[in-house]
Structure 1
């Protein structure tokens, strides 16, 4: 469980970091030249949801072991499934791979903490 907890922590921190990058520098993730006002808006909108969920996923196995923590980790895994689906739709292979890996880690941790 210690290795899984560590992997979950790394996954959660990575998710938080990418959400913050999306808010601060949306063009870094979208690979557009100059981000539009809408792109900046959606970058921050994504970050305001992903950062709290990432923090919850980071602390859930420790603070809420059992069903509550498992539910939070399942929600984090579901969010990553959505990110992977967006990656498929936009053909961003790094997004597909990263989100799929984070899905697996959060889901495995959810099962282990249930």
Structure 2
């Protein structure tokens, strides 16, 4: 159980970090030379969703184990599924793998904390 909580914490911190990178340096994630205003806009939109959800996924299993934590972790997993689908449509294997792994970790943590 402690290993799973640790893996969930690392996953949440990684998710927060990528959300911040998306907001601060969107070209780093889109692999474009110079980000357009649209990339910057959507980067910040991603960050405003990703940071609070990542913090919630980090804190919930530790602060409120049970149904509340499971609900938060399922929401975080759903967001990661969306990221994996985006990775599939853009053919970014690292995005597919990372988001799929985070989905699995969040779901496993949700099941064990519920």
The TM-score normalised by the length of structure 1 is 0.99
Segments of structure 2 that go 5 or more residues without pairing to the other structure are none
Gaps of 5+ in 1: none
Separation of aligned partners in 2, 1:46 and 1:94: 18
**Alignment correspondent of 2:27:** 27
Distance 1:92 1:85 in 2: 10
Q: Distance in 1 between matches of 2:91 and 2:46?
A: 20
Residue deviations 1:51-76, cap 9 Å, x none?
00000000011111100000000000
Give the Cα separation in 2 of the matches to 1:79 and 1:45.
Answer: 13
Q: Over aligned residues, Cα RMSD in angstroms?
A: 0.4
State the alpha-carbon separation in 2 of the partners of residues 96 and 49 from structure 1: 19
The structure 1 segments of at least 4 consecutive aligned residues displaced by more than 2 Å after TM superposition are none
Q: Tell me how far 1:105 sits from its aligned partner.
A: 0.3
> Number of matched residues?
114
* Aligned residue in 1 for 2:63: 63
Q: What is the TM-score of this pair, normalised by structure 2?
A: 0.99
In structure 2, distance between residues paired with 1:56 and 1:15 = 11
